[in-house]
Copies of this chain bind each other. A is one copy, B any other.
Amino acid sequence: MSGSRPEPPYVAVIFSNRLRPDAEGYAEVAERMVAMARAQPGYLGHESARGEDGFGITISYWADEASSRAWREVAEHAEAQRLGRERFYAQYDLRVAVVLRQAAFGGAP
């Protein structure tokens, strides 16, 4: 999460995915998606990690369900327009969750 820790409850959109070995151009699209997310109302932050095996998790955090839903609609539209999800992902799971509690250690990332 980019430099802040909002108080629960808030919404986490968890996107777990495995990239296809031939997922060219993904980094650019991912960057653009982050820029788009930042510009959306209710955006609180995001976190992302991807290992060498191609499996990655990106979590975006939102003020409420309405803003997370609006983001998913924007994201789906943008991805569909661009290249189609089948071109990038071998597999994915998208989960919408409400964060109820949290604990932290060390400075916010």
Contact = CB atoms under 8 A, between A and B. Distances in A.
- Give the secondary structure class of A's interface: strand
Contacts of A98: 97-98, 100
A49 B47 contact: no
A67 B49 CA distance: 26
B94 A103 contact: yes
Interface residues of A, number: 40
Given A18-B109, A94-B102, A98-B97, A57 B47 contact: yes
Query: Which 10 pairs between the two chains have the least Cβ-Cβ distance?
Result: A91-B106, A97-B97, A49-B49, A96-B101, A97-B99, A57-B57, A95-B102, A49-B57, A94-B103, A49-B51
